[in-house]
């Protein structure tokens, strides 16, 4: 599958270079997080402050 850079055993056929794809996706994710593009309200959940406080009390 190509998950390790520059490694292809003699007995295997490489169908894709997923290492390169994974590295690129992780760079894009990190960039979005650093620039505060992710998560947005669309990808987030909220909780009522009273419910949160009660949950914290019950967890102790």
HEC readout, the chain: CCCCCCCCCCCCCCCCCHHHHHHHHHHHHHHHHHCCCCCCHHHCCCCCHHHHHHHHHHHC
Q: What is the DSSP letter of 35?
A: T
Pick the residue with more confidence: 23 or 6?
A: 23
Distance CA 15, CA 1 (A): 6
Label residue 44 by pLDDT band (50, 70, 90): very high
Q: Where are the domains of the chain?
A: 18-59
The pLDDT assigned to 10 comes to 84
The pLDDT assigned to 6 comes to 81
């Amino acid at each position: 599958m190509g998950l390790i850079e520059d490694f292809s055993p003699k007995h295997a056929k490489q169908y894709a270079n997923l290492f390169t794809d994974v590295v690129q996706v992780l760079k894009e994710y990190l960039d979005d997080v650093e620039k505060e593009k992710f998560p947005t309200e669309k990808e987030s959940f909220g909780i009522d402050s009273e419910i949160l406080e009660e949950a914290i009390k019950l967890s102790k």
